[in-house]
Amino acid sequence: MDAHVSPSSVSGTARAPPSKSYTHRAILAAGLGDGATVHDPLVSADTRATARAVEAFGGSVAFAEDGTEAVVEGLSGSPGTPDDVVDCANSGTTMRLVTAVAGLVDGTTVLTGDSSLRSRPQGPLLDALEQLGATARSTRSNGQAPLVVDGPMVGGTASIPGDVSSQFVTALLMAGALTDDGVDVALETELKSAPYVDITLDVLDAFGVAAEATAGETADAVAGYHVDGGQPYAAADGEYRVPGDFSSMSYLLAAGAVAGDPEVTVEGAVPSAQGDAAIIDIVERMGAPVNWDRDAGTVTVEQADLAGVTVDVGDTPDLLPTIAALGAVADGDTRIENAEHVRYKETDRVTAMAEELAKMGASVTEEQDALTVHGGETTLEGATVDGRADHRIVMALAVAALVADGDTTIHGCEHVDVSFPGFFGVLEDLGAHAHPLD
């Protein structure tokens, strides 16, 4: 499906969807325990994949028709052998977390996904499960899905690289709480996307599971993580509430910064462990007036002439598309560094943003670990661009299209359902000429 976006201004108030990262972890945590009611979940293609996985292991997840809650019946710490292949669709988070849970099963679990997910690296996680006593392999012997996992694992120490995906750490911690011996995760390299592990620790704590970072050689270094085994999952009063999603919020804030007339207010910005809250500081550094009322959970951003900045996305890979779109509007260079791991998402997001912004007239320089957008050499023009079957690419290109000269057609707009169902409707409510085309 295509989306059509015309130059337009935006104003008013919008609500960010609930956090995808928190929703995945909360549904799985509730599923691994005796169940819970998860309030304000993100109901999307990705989180439904995690819900289906919980059901494959013997639990159940029922989303309310109005999307306000998910009632989870849990596995009481004992996931069963799935009757069929576990299909994780396009959800990398589901694949990583559920692969580790499969290591707890006294039996065989087979996991797969769509063509994009089957191209993403899983090898370090498979190696870690082997170190913990499970048997885990790729059917194609290339470290990619389909995967076959035989358990049960007992726990111990798993040594993994930290620069491929923080989801490996999350997976091992969440499953490790249910092993006999617990799990120590030893990092071989610096951990990228560390705030996502902070989210995991936050959710584990809310479900009564203690896990912690372990000290490195210096005061600031993290050598790894530890979780004791034999810990039950139990949410206080059987309930958990999901905060708003700063990754999704980034597109609304960026829209306000480039096309606000004069401002956009985003609700749901409650402080949490999400590293992508850094988008607020980035937009402000680029020159847009920003007011974050943390108590009210609202952020207001005004349109302004933006200036290029340098941003390290080592901890915030999902922000690269948004920052690149902002850079195409800003004066001067916007350099996005420490970005190689962003190539291993739903698509290679570094190349995708470089090539699609170039179609719109942007001047860009792509390196293996960086992307520079030369805003001073760019005049954005409407064009036909490809969202690369990636929700974040689609939404970032829609932001750039708001201020391009002429109309823009974005292929694959349906993929916003992964994290921000109704995204184009929200833009329209803010006054943008942006809508899907049947």
Residue 10 to residue 252: CA distance in whole angstroms: 9
Q: Phi and psi (nearest 5°) for 352?
A: -60, -50
Share of the chain above pLDDT 90, in %: 94
Rounded Cα distance, 203 and 114, in Å: 28
258 burial type by CB count under 10 A (0-12 exposed, 13-18 middle, 19+ buried): buried
Residues 389-408, mean pLDDT to the nearest whole number: 97
Banded model confidence at residue 223, pLDDT cuts 50, 70, 90:
confident
Please check if 131 is assigned to a binding site: no
What's the confidence (pLDDT) of residue 401? 98
> Is residue 221 very low, low, confident or very high in pLDDT (cuts 50, 70, 90)?
low
Distances, alpha carbon 218 to alpha carbons 198, 315, 341, 379, 430, in Å = 19, 20, 25, 47, 48
Q: Which residue has the tokens 């491929």?
A: 164
Q: 46, 150, 163, 318: which one is catalytic?
A: 318
Picking from 132-141, 194-203, 219-228, 273-282, which range would have the lowest pLDDT averaged per residue? 219-228
pLDDT in tens, 234-266: 999 999 999 999 999 999 999 999 999 999 999
Domain boundaries, the chain: 2-17+244-437, 20-241
According to the annotation, is 21 in a ligand binding site?
yes
Paired tokens of 368: 């293996």
Residue 34 is a catalytic residue:
no
- Of all residues in the chain, what percent carry a pLDDT higher than 70? 98
**Closest to 293 measured CA to CA, from 314, 272, 268, 326:** 268
Question: Cis peptide before 79, with omega less than 30 degrees from 0?
Answer: no
20-241 belongs to which CATH class?
A: alpha beta
Provide the angle, in degrees to the nearest 10, between the axes of the packed helices 320-329 and 349-359.
Answer: 30
H or E stretch covering 329: helix 320-329
Q: Is 422 annotated as a binding residue?
A: no
Task: State residue 218's pLDDT score.
Answer: 57
- 363 confidence band (pLDDT: 50, 70, 90): very high
pLDDT at 105 over 90: yes
The answer on whether 8 is annotated among ligand-binding residues is no
Average pLDDT, the chain: 96
| CATH superfamily of this structure's domain 2-17+244-437 | Enolpyruvate transferase domain (3.65.10.10)
Q: What is the DSSP string of 6-68?
A: ES--EEEEEEPPBPHHHHHHHHHHHHHTT-EEEES---SHHHHHHHHHHHHTT-EEEE-TTSS
120 labelled binding-site residue: yes
Interval 94-104: pLDDT, tens = 999 999 999 99
Per-residue model confidence (pLDDT) at position 215:
79
State the pairing for strand pair 10-15/310-312.
unpaired
User: How does residue 407 score in pLDDT terms, banded at 50, 70 and 90?
Assistant: very high
Topology match between the domains 2-17+244-437 and 20-241: yes
